Structure 1
Amino acid sequence: MAPEQIPGSAGPDERRLTGLALNPAAPVDVLLRLLALEFAAVRVALCRDRVLPGPVVDAVVAHPDWRTRGFFAENPYADPEQRARLVDDPEYRVRGRLAREPRAADDVCAPRPLPDRTVVRIIETYESDNLWELNRLISPGLQRAMTTHPSAKVRCMGIGRLSWESLTPDVRDALLADPDPGVRKAADATRHYYERLRDPDAVREDLPAHHCHARTHLLMYGALAPDVVAEALSQNAWLIAFNDSTPPETVALLAAHPDPEVRAQVAARPDLGPAERRALAVDPDPGVRLALSVHPALSEAERAAIDYEVEQDEAYCLWPVYDPESVPDLEIVRAQALSAHPLLRRRAADEPHLPADLVALLADDSDLGVRVLLGQNHPDAPAALLLRCFLEHTGRDRWHVTRHGNFPRAGLARFAGAEDPAVRRLALLDPAIPAETADRLTRDPDPQVREDAARHPRLPQDRIVALLDAPELAHRAAANPALPAATMYELIAAVGQPVP
């Protein structure tokens, strides 16, 4: 059974103990007693789905059951230094889970890189099948330094993770002359690949006749000979519209292509000529006109002259910052923020390095998307904006904004009677919500509201204890930090664990 399926198969006692395993106020002794129980769902919750105190981490890392250690290996909430203790685990399945990006159930807790020494150890000692999912577990600093790292295996892996053309000539020459034969082989193969990718005759020779990933990649990124372009015009026009080696005369043909998706792709090309820009600016398809309206070569007056429409009903996403040292060209960001075009302002609002004066400006922007993206992605988004974002935007990532450090919590109890159940949930973020209100919300018609209310610490203790016998809410009540410690021990004793 997969770990994510275990909680759904749990019985009543196990579900209560699973909730207790997530209780942030549970003493270390309670957590250690839960770890000793033979309940898979409890161990999943305890080891994978929460932050653990040091003594419990020690017990998990030393636990004889490899599955228990494996749950902790994929814990997205644990400090990476704690997870790194499993790097030399004797069970290959535990090591395999450590080498994968851990994903939070709510997809909000972004994966954090493992310590560099741990990643190097993984690269040097794990089977290659365990390395392809490392991804964001490699810190940006190590990522940049891989091709010059002292370890030959790290250099070899770096060749595959970094574009050959992004490396300086000195680094390329050093890799081609590397003392390690494996590095030299990988470097020579990568150089050969890129040389062929820039050779139209080689691309023609390598191009598969059937539709596949290799054909798509070559048509999008390879240097294309005239005959290859001519053939692709009828079958794969979108792909060559993306390719930056497509010649200007072909781009002109693609700008008049009958498929609006192809024309929209052409509209995004930075090398688009003035004639094509003028034609696409009055294209009959609104999507094409919108794509052209954000072209970097246009002036603000030219953008304003285009009849475009920006959709408001979109999924405005949270973009977790992976490399905090990667700072964009702030002049470009400023120009975008000051543009009259909502999509350009949205691009600026996505940027976590946006200066304070532009944050203040965009926080009151007329475009919903600008406001929501700023609230989701900027670390200094003001509290009033964050609450406004939640109340006005009902998209998929709506709840993410409530986890922002600046999201206001005081006074949210006033939303307890709102018509929208998602807004009623806001009331349960208020640390001072009246006890009777929290009690009433445990009987709310919406199941998510009831669950949030059941674990609110302002809920009266007698109601918390009563909910331990409610099948739907028992696990949430057991996770309530106001649950008396004596009751915690009683829940464990009920399944045979002795009370001290």
Structure 2
Amino acid sequence: MSHHPRTAEAIWQDADLPARRLAGVALNPNAGTDVLLRLLACDSAAVRMVLCRDRDLPEEVVNAVVTHPDHRTRSFFGANPHVDPAQRARLVDDAHWLVRAWLAQGPGFPHGRSELPEHTVVRILTTYDNDDLGTLYRQVPKSARWTFPSHPEPKVRAFAFTWWSELTPREQAALLADPDEDVRERALRHDRDLDPEYVERALPDRSCHARTHLLMHGALSHRVVEQVLAAPVGREDLAMIAGNPSLPLDVLALLARDPDPHVRETVAGRTELTAEQRQALATDADPAVRTRISVHPALTEEERSAIDYQVGSDETFGHFDIPASMYDPARSRRHALSGHPLLRRRAASDPGLPPDLVALLSSDSDLGVRVLLAQNHPQAPAELLLDSFLEYTGRERWSLTTRPNFPTEDLAGYAEAADPMVRRLALLSPQTPPGTVDRLSADPDPDVRADAARHPRLSRRRLGELLDDEELAHRAGANPALPASVLNRLVASLAG
């Protein structure tokens, strides 16, 4: 078989109207096990793809999927983010390379339920080719990260380098002296960036990824620093070394006065700056430099407020998926009480922020603070979530509707809004009248039409029309208003 199987997009593009309708049925919450098994047995690759990849499945159907004779069908299941990963793990020893590759690749972003059992990850590491490992690192359970550095299997120990910076000095030293040559070599490759002589020898003389990595993260010798200062290869070279922790302080002082504002902005992020250097950067001619130094941890609130910084709201405010354990509660409190909106934004991103600070930041004057709180705190209040959605129009706006407390009651009035994304709010509400849902199913915006086609209050007449609509048949097929009898009749009509 070719190592270039048809893409999911191509499979869907080739699907005819009946197949698209049945793909919707595959996602319908009223589809029972018998319906799902009949869909799994049909001829359409598009139907099997949607069924195996895009929903949770009862155990009887999972059993049929993992033993399905078609390897493409099994491969779709390997990347399913909705099922228990232990079910996907049943494919670990599949006979076909494509199935194994999709299992190692795992669910795309957002990852959904992605962490495979530790014994499955070990099996993959010890039996798969390196080329098949895909994005396996995203599927390793956090508990396994502590066992891998001392695992009896060399290939598993070698994978611990994925988290090299999180390993203890003792673990790093053990891997550098590992009895396995390949493990030692990989450890050396991670460790040698800390050797100035190695960095000097290995530094490419042209702009490339390797040069960027070494200038930003490698141990810089005086010779390398002098070369970069005297004859930078690229315009970003000076900014790269300006952020390198090994840069000598006298050179840092020199770069604080560099004519390139990007270099000075990078310097402004360094904690080692003296009071005089901070003061000079606080009055820099470039607003980005002034803004960067204005959040320096050594400054007092009074010093921050004296700086002419600029904070805009034209950026992305999204969900960061960073656990509360990664935040310092005392620092988050200081930041929440700061007069600086960028520090309050940092506090607003902390999912562990206590209730008093959630209440405080919910009425913050800065849009970024309010939206970041709404996107990241599990107890963000419903009013804040809705108001943030209505005011924020940047990327990841719709993800606000997926937050735990987002309101779904009394949204029908938004069906008249000029903004199509606001019109979609009406389709989150179960009380929206059937006539309104019917009208929105013919909306000029494709996302509005798609949401309306799945709304349970879509009229039976309109739902019947959409089941024959090339664009919306798959959405209509998933509509929970379709009774099991209709689903059975639709499945009975399939060929194959």
Output the TM-score relative to the length of structure 2. 0.93
Q: In 2, are the aligned partners of 1:264 and 1:288 still within 8 Å (CA)?
A: yes
Alignment of 1:198-213 (within 5 A): 198-213=194-209
Structure 2 partner of 1:455: 454
Structure 2 partner of 1:397: 396
Structure 2 partner of 1:29: 34
**Deviations 1:181-219, CA, capped at 9 Å, x for gaps:** 32x65236524752x433333321222222222222221
Q: In 2, are the aligned partners of 1:418 and 1:424 still within 8 Å (CA)?
A: yes
Structure 2 partner of 1:126: 128
Structure 1 residues 59 and 325, CA gap change in structure 2 (3 angstroms): farther
Q: In 2, are the aligned partners of 1:101 and 1:111 still within 8 Å (CA)?
A: no
- Give the CA deviation at 1:138: 0.7
- Give the CA deviation at 1:175: 3.8
Whole-angstrom distance in 2 between the partners of 1:358 and 1:149: 44
Whole-angstrom distance in 2 between the partners of 1:189 and 1:488: 55
- Give the CA deviation at 1:150: 4.3
Structure 2 partner of 1:225: 221
Q: Is residue 86 of structure 2 the alignment partner of residue 81 of structure 1?
A: yes
Whole-angstrom distance in 2 between the partners of 1:57 and 1:185: 39
Whole-angstrom distance in 2 between the partners of 1:192 and 1:112: 29
Whole-angstrom distance in 2 between the partners of 1:109 and 1:276: 44
SS in 2 for 1:99: helix
Whole-angstrom distance in 1 between the partners of 2:281 and 2:172: 42
Q: Is residue 187 of structure 2 the alignment partner of residue 190 of structure 1?
A: yes
Q: In 2, are the aligned partners of 1:337 and 1:349 still within 8 Å (CA)?
A: yes
Whole-angstrom distance in 2 between the partners of 1:243 and 1:175: 25
Whole-angstrom distance in 2 between the partners of 1:193 and 1:387: 47
**Deviations 1:388-433, CA, capped at 9 Å, x for gaps:** 1111111110110111121111111121111211111001111122
Q: Aligned partner of 1:59: which letter?
A: A
Q: In 1, are the aligned partners of 2:104 and 2:135 still within 8 Å (CA)?
A: yes
SS in 2 for 1:93: helix
Structure 1 residues 192 and 398, CA gap change in structure 2 (3 angstroms): closer
Structure 1 residues 496 and 128, CA gap change in structure 2 (3 angstroms): closer
Q: In 2, are the aligned partners of 1:73 and 1:94 still within 8 Å (CA)?
A: yes
Q: In 1, are the aligned partners of 2:101 and 2:134 still within 8 Å (CA)?
A: no
Structure 1 partner of 2:427: 428
Q: Is residue 341 of structure 2 the alignment partner of residue 336 of structure 1?
A: no
Whole-angstrom distance in 2 between the partners of 1:138 and 1:432: 42
Structure 1 partner of 2:283: 282
Alignment of 1:244-263 (within 5 A): 244-263=245-264
Q: Aligned partner of 2:184: which letter?
A: A
Structure 1 partner of 2:3: none
Q: In 1, are the aligned partners of 2:438 and 2:462 still within 8 Å (CA)?
A: yes
SS in 1 for 2:448: helix
Whole-angstrom distance in 1 between the partners of 2:262 and 2:7: 41
Q: Aligned partner of 1:116: which letter?
A: E
Whole-angstrom distance in 2 between the partners of 1:197 and 1:273: 28
Structure 1 partner of 2:308: 307
**Deviations 1:442-496, CA, capped at 9 Å, x for gaps:** 1222221111111111112222112212222222111101113232233233333
SS in 2 for 1:411: coil
Whole-angstrom distance in 2 between the partners of 1:84 and 1:257: 54
Whole-angstrom distance in 2 between the partners of 1:320 and 1:192: 30
**Deviations 1:333-358, CA, capped at 9 Å, x for gaps:** 11111111111111111111222221
Q: In 1, are the aligned partners of 2:324 and 2:351 still within 8 Å (CA)?
A: no
Q: Aligned partner of 2:492: which letter?
A: A
SS in 1 for 2:105: coil
Alignment of 1:156-171 (within 5 A): 156-158=158-160, 160-163=161-164, 166-169=167-170, 171=171
SS in 2 for 1:14: helix
Q: In 2, are the aligned partners of 1:327 and 1:353 still within 8 Å (CA)?
A: no
Structure 1 residues 39 and 142, CA gap change in structure 2 (3 angstroms): same
Structure 1 residues 325 and 168, CA gap change in structure 2 (3 angstroms): farther
Structure 1 residues 199 and 62, CA gap change in structure 2 (3 angstroms): closer
Structure 1 residues 74 and 29, CA gap change in structure 2 (3 angstroms): same
Q: Is residue 350 of structure 2 the alignment partner of residue 345 of structure 1?
A: no
Q: Aligned partner of 1:117: which letter?
A: H
Whole-angstrom distance in 1 between the partners of 2:190 and 2:494: 62
Q: In 2, are the aligned partners of 1:337 and 1:345 still within 8 Å (CA)?
A: yes
Structure 1 residues 189 and 90, CA gap change in structure 2 (3 angstroms): closer
Structure 2 partner of 1:482: 481
Q: Aligned partner of 2:409: which letter?
A: A
SS in 1 for 2:428: coil
- Give the CA deviation at 1:261: 1.2
Q: Aligned partner of 2:286: which letter?
A: D
Structure 2 partner of 1:65: 70
Q: Aligned partner of 2:12: which letter?
A: P
**Deviations 1:140-182, CA, capped at 9 Å, x for gaps:** 2212332133444322221x2232684233x34544555xx32
Q: Aligned partner of 1:269: which letter?
A: R
Q: Aligned partner of 1:296: which letter?
A: P
Whole-angstrom distance in 2 between the partners of 1:339 and 1:149: 46
Structure 1 residues 109 and 167, CA gap change in structure 2 (3 angstroms): closer
- Give the CA deviation at 1:3: 1.5
Of 133-142 and 299-308, deviating more is 133-142
Q: In 1, are the aligned partners of 2:172 and 2:187 still within 8 Å (CA)?
A: no
Whole-angstrom distance in 1 between the partners of 2:292 and 2:389: 28
Structure 2 partner of 1:155: 157
Structure 1 residues 73 and 483, CA gap change in structure 2 (3 angstroms): same
Whole-angstrom distance in 2 between the partners of 1:36 and 1:74: 20
- Give the CA deviation at 1:132: 5.1
Structure 1 residues 27 and 193, CA gap change in structure 2 (3 angstroms): closer
SS in 2 for 1:43: helix
Q: Aligned partner of 1:267: which letter?
A: A
Whole-angstrom distance in 1 between the partners of 2:266 and 2:98: 44
Whole-angstrom distance in 2 between the partners of 1:282 and 1:164: 36
Q: Is residue 85 of structure 2 the alignment partner of residue 90 of structure 1?
A: no
Whole-angstrom distance in 2 between the partners of 1:485 and 1:465: 15
Structure 2 partner of 1:146: 148
Whole-angstrom distance in 2 between the partners of 1:451 and 1:363: 32
- Which runs of 5 or more residues in structure 1 are unaligned? none
Whole-angstrom distance in 1 between the partners of 2:168 and 2:63: 42
Q: In 1, are the aligned partners of 2:43 and 2:495 still within 8 Å (CA)?
A: no
Structure 2 partner of 1:437: 436
Q: In 2, are the aligned partners of 1:66 and 1:91 still within 8 Å (CA)?
A: yes
Q: In 1, are the aligned partners of 2:176 and 2:187 still within 8 Å (CA)?
A: no
Structure 1 residues 132 and 489, CA gap change in structure 2 (3 angstroms): closer
**Deviations 1:29-80, CA, capped at 9 Å, x for gaps:** 1111111111111111111111222221111111011100000001112221
Q: Aligned partner of 2:250: which letter?
A: E
Aligned residue pairs, count = 486
Q: In 2, are the aligned partners of 1:110 and 1:320 still within 8 Å (CA)?
A: no
Q: Aligned partner of 2:281: which letter?
A: L
Output the TM-score relative to the length of structure 1. 0.92
